[in-house]
Chain A
């Protein structure tokens, strides 16, 4: 069965700090990988996705993620966070089933 692990439950950063959120999955077959974001009071939105090709994927708002097949990882990065990045971030995998989500990482960015 597929599963997704997000290592950090809650991350607190100052503005302009760099961000890396970990995501590991377990599934031996071909996977599609996603990061979704949920801003306070809003619904889930797609941040970026990987289906095939270049393992370094660029998404909206300056976010990027790197698919490392050998490590079963798809970590999310941003060089310099802003207060408006405060949100909950979910990693998700789709292999032989619809999306399997991690438990989410809450990011709080302080001024």
Chain B
């Protein structure tokens, strides 16, 4: 497809389990971003990739969160030992080049994570 895709669309897990969320950016987009949207809150920036490297991990809330990107394409956000406060919609976005070069970010539909 032409847009950013994310999977799964919904994930329900038990507290303490690990989860992996996947993002497929728009083909050719070198920059990729992860955001989190908790209920009633704005979107929080988590991490940014330029190519396969992550120059900005400042938004990751704890060491339970990690992300990787391979082949300048797919990215996976992993949350270990999930907690109830991790429940949120996780959004991925991609852009043609760095946000510093005034590039628009295109968003995926999100993954709704519920931790019981």
Binding site for B on A (CB under 8 A): 4, 6, 32, 36, 42-46, 49, 51, 90, 92, 94, 97-104
Of the listed stretches B18-26, B71-79, B98-106, name the one at the interface; the rest are far from the partner chain. B98-106
How many B residues touch the partner, as a band? 20 to 34
Assess whether A99 is in contact with B45, with CB atoms less than 8 Å apart.
yes
- In the complex, which residues of chain B have a beta carbon less than 8 angstroms from the beta carbon of A97? 45, 56, 58
- In the complex, which residues of chain B have a beta carbon less than 8 angstroms from the beta carbon of A36? 107
- In the complex, which residues of chain B have a beta carbon less than 8 angstroms from the beta carbon of A92? 43
Q: With the chains together, A49 CA to B105 CA distance in Å?
A: 11
A101 and B43 contact, Cβ closer than 8 Å, known pairs A43-B109, A49-B104, A94-B99:
yes
Q: A interface, by DSSP: helix, strand, loop or mixed?
A: strand
Report the nearest A residue to B45, measured CB to CB.
A98
Q: With the chains together, A104 CA to B106 CA distance in Å?
A: 18
- In the complex, which residues of chain A have a beta carbon less than 8 angstroms from the beta carbon of B106? 46
A98 and B43 contact, Cβ closer than 8 Å, known pairs A43-B107, A49-B104:
no
- In the complex, which residues of chain B have a beta carbon less than 8 angstroms from the beta carbon of A101? 35, 42-44
Contact of B41 among A32, A49, A103 (CB under 8 A): A103
Assess whether B102 is in contact with A99, with CB atoms less than 8 Å apart.
no
28 pairs, A vs B, C-beta closer than 8 Å: A4-B42, A32-B102, A36-B107, A42-B109, A43-B91, A43-B107, A43-B109, A43-B110, A44-B93, A45-B107, A46-B104, A46-B105, A49-B104, A51-B102, A90-B42, A92-B43, A94-B99, A97-B56, A98-B45, A98-B48, A98-B105, A99-B35, A99-B43, A99-B99, A101-B35, A101-B42, A102-B42, A103-B42
